[in-house]
Amino acid sequence: MANRAVSMVISEDGSVNYSWSGLLNSDAGNPASIVARPNGFAVQAVGTFGAGGSVALQGSNDGVNFFALDDAGGTAIAMTTTKVWRLANLPKYFKPVVTAGDGTTSLAVNLVGHTR
C-alpha cells in the first residue's frame, strides 16, 4: 500500500480540481485539504479498474479520522466505473482509497468543486 500525492488546480472559472494518479490496488491518496468552500463536489475515477476494482472516497473534519462519503442519494461511494458521482457530504479533508482490484488496477481520481 502506498500513499499517492494530490495535486490541486484552481481555475479562472471558479472550479477547484484535486487529482490523484497512479493509484494501484490497496493504495490511498494523501488527504486533500479544502481551500475554498465550493457549492458542491463531483468525483470520478478513470483508468484500469482490473478485476473487481473499486475506489472509495473518504472524508474527515480533523484530517485523522476518515469515514466513507455518500453520494447525493445517500449511498456510500464505491467507484467501479468512470461514472461521475455527486457528493452529499462536504468535509474539510478528502482522500480516495482503492479498496479492491488486481495487478492491473491503475487509476486516477479527480474531485472537482465549483466556488461560484
User: For the chain, which residues make up each domain, given as ranges?
Assistant: 3-114
Q: What is the pLDDT of residue 11?
A: 87
Segment 97-108 mean pLDDT: 97
- Number of alpha helices (DSSP H) and beta strands (DSSP E) in the chain: 0, 12
Is pLDDT above 70 for 116?
no
Q: What is the pLDDT of residue 12?
A: 86
Segment 36-59 mean pLDDT: 91
Is pLDDT above 90 for 10?
no
78-81 own/partner pairs: CB under 8 Å, 24+ apart: 78/54, 79/43, 79/44, 79/45, 79/54, 79/55, 79/109, 80/49, 80/53, 80/54, 80/55, 81/49
Closest residue by Cα to residue 48 from 109, 104, 110: 104
Is pLDDT above 90 for 103?
yes
Structure-model confidence comparison of residues 28 and 39, the more confident one: 28
As a whole number, the mean pLDDT across the chain is 92
Q: What is the pLDDT of residue 5?
A: 95
Q: What is the pLDDT of residue 35?
A: 73
Say which CATH topology domain 3-114 has.
Answer: Jelly Rolls (2.60.120)
